[in-house]
């Protein structure tokens, strides 16, 4: 909520999990939030330029955080897939698009 001056006055602003889009409750002590810095073409960190991601405790408990970070960074074009990963992804997408026949 904002006051007349345009300042944020809420005591608690809930976060959303970057991978599942679920709200992260205040009592989820296993959740994490971190910043992934952007770099220039020479591999040098651009001061103050980063992407913030948050992950819920459930995702961390299931061991899916590493895969979620990779998927988000590929989507944001921060990292690129290797040739083998691209081929695997293309096969998986082609299989999902193929019509299923019932016997």
pLDDT of residue 2: 82
List the helix and strand counts (H, then E) for the chain. 3, 4
pLDDT of residue 75: 86
Note down pLDDT in tens along the chain; length 103 residues: 788 888 888 878 889 999 999 999 989 999 999 998 888 888 888 898 898 999 999 999 999 888 899 888 888 887 887 888 888 888 888 888 877 766 6
Q: Is 86 helix (H, G, I), strand (E, B) or coil?
A: helix
Nearest to residue 54, comparing CAs of 30, 77, 38?
A: 30
Determine contact, residues 81/51, Cβ cutoff 8 Å: no
pLDDT of residue 103: 60
> What residues form DSSP beta bridges with 53?
34
Q: What is the CA radius of gyration of the chain?
A: 19
pLDDT of residue 29: 93
């Amino acid at each position: 909520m904002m006051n007349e001056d345009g300042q944020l006055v809420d005591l608690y602003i809930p976060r959303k999990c970057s991978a599942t889009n679920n709200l992260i409750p205040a009592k989820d002590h296993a959740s994490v939030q971190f910043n992934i810095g952007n770099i220039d073409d020479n591999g040098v960190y651009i001061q103050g330029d980063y992407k913030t991601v948050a992950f819920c405790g459930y995702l961390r408990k299931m061991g899916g955080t590493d895969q979620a970070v990779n998927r988000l960074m590929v989507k944001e074009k921060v990292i690129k897939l290797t040739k083998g990963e691209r081929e695997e992804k293309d096969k998986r997408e082609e299989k999902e698009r193929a019509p299923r026949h019932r016997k």
